[in-house]
Amino acid sequence: MKKVIFILLIVIFLTSLLAVSSIAATDPIRWRLQSYAGPALNAQVCKNAIDEFNIAANGEMVIDVYSADQLVPHGELFHALQSGTVDMAVSDDYSIGSPADVAMFTAYFPIPSRIGLDVDVLWNHYGLNEIWEESYGEIEGVTWLAQGSWDPCYIASTKPIEHVEDLKGLRIFASLFSGKFLKEQFGVVPTVMPVEDVEMALQTGMLDGVSWSGITELYEIGWADSCDYLLTNPISGAWSGGWFVNTKSWEAIPPHLQTLLRLAIAKSNYYRLHWYWDGEARQKAHGGKFKFTTIPVDEWTTVEDQREKYWDEYAKKSPRSARVMQAFKDYSETMKAAGPPYYSSK
């Protein structure tokens, strides 16, 4: 009897060894992720969290991170996700060519927030997560996982802006919807060109300024060297971007790796909240490349009031758009009612 038990234990031990060897010999699942950011910025906006995921995945899965345009042109990134050319993407919905009807509300939609935390609250506590899941549930081949906030959007310029009327006629490189808002409400001339041409356009006077990012990124990409002034009134308190995966790739990985990836995304979203917040403060206090100007409170309040009319225009596009706009309005009213530090007119 003892001999039989001994033999059974040996069999179990050898079977376990074979199973471990089989797992070790299996190649890890390998994904390719492309983001909207250049190499230096990519390290902060997503690569740091994905590097931690790769360690925690313990050889079962590896995600290789690529910067903007490295695998496919950025405007074709959504199609590349659908086809499986890339497995994962980090960007605002609109600029990667997303056909989702909610894509227009991402990036720097005019004045939905004052700080980065506002974006996270809107999605997690005002129903936008559910609306985004609903919208992307209608699109084949791509699964939306999460939304997060990036940097605020200011106007950096070669001319001082001290009043609303100073915006009129300025040639500004801007994202689509903030540029449209600035044109319709304040007479700015939105100018479209390849990103790599912006610095030279500022230096030669073809552009008067940019409304593209926060101070941290203006330093990071070098545009702070070509602009003398920065308007401290933000066009938007934060850029809203998403995390997307190819649906087949997502469904092919086991639940524990899906959970681990969601945790890495949450870590990245949290990291950027304090990284950008600290970076903006440090550059304002110690950067030294900009002369800061501020439009007076009474004038800027009229700018914020104009957003309500602008939001109403987009609310008419569809019932789902109306739900998004209502979330923006409800949140705005809650913040105003809460008062400082949630909202202050100063």
Rounded Cα distance between 320 and 325, Å, is 9
pLDDT band at 181 (very low <50, low <70, confident <90, very high): confident
- What rounded mean pLDDT belongs to the chain? 90
Give the pLDDT mean for 139-159: 96
pLDDT band at 48 (very low <50, low <70, confident <90, very high): very high
Give pLDDT tens digits for 101-116. Answer: 999 999 998 877 889 9
Lowest-confidence pick of 146-160, 230-244, 297-311: 297-311
Rounded Cα distance between 245 and 82, Å, is 9
Rounded Cα distance between 209 and 194, Å, is 15
- Please, what are the domains in the chain? 27-149+239-279 (3.40.190.170), 153-237+287-338 (3.40.190.170)
Give the pLDDT mean for 85-105: 95
Please check whether residue 86 is in contact with residue 36, taking contact to mean a CB–CB distance below 8 angstroms: no
pLDDT at 9: 46
Tell whether the model's pLDDT for residue 265 goes beyond 80: yes
pLDDT at 6: 47
Please check whether residue 128 is in contact with residue 330, taking contact to mean a CB–CB distance below 8 angstroms: no
Give the pLDDT mean for 281-291: 91
Give the pLDDT mean for 147-169: 95
* DSSP H helices in the chain: 2-25, 39-42, 48-56, 77-83, 116-125, 128-136, 176-186, 198-204, 215-221, 247-252, 255-282, 297-315, 319-338
Rounded Cα distance between 206 and 245, Å, is 39
Please check whether residue 227 is in contact with residue 210, taking contact to mean a CB–CB distance below 8 angstroms: yes
Query: CA-CA distances (angstroms) from residue 247 to 33, 92, 187, 252, 317?
Result: 14, 18, 43, 9, 28
| % residues pLDDT > 90 (the chain) | 70
> Please, which residues have CB within 8 angstroms of residue 98's CB and are 6 or more apart in sequence?
78, 139, 142
What does the angle CA 66 – CA 133 – CA 47 come to, to the nearest 5 degrees? Answer: 20
Give pLDDT tens digits for 248-262. Answer: 999 999 999 999 999
Task: Tell the residue number behind the tokens 């990667």, with chain if given.
Answer: 96
| % residues pLDDT > 70 (the chain) | 92
Tell whether the model's pLDDT for residue 13 goes beyond 80: no
Tell whether the model's pLDDT for residue 322 goes beyond 60: yes
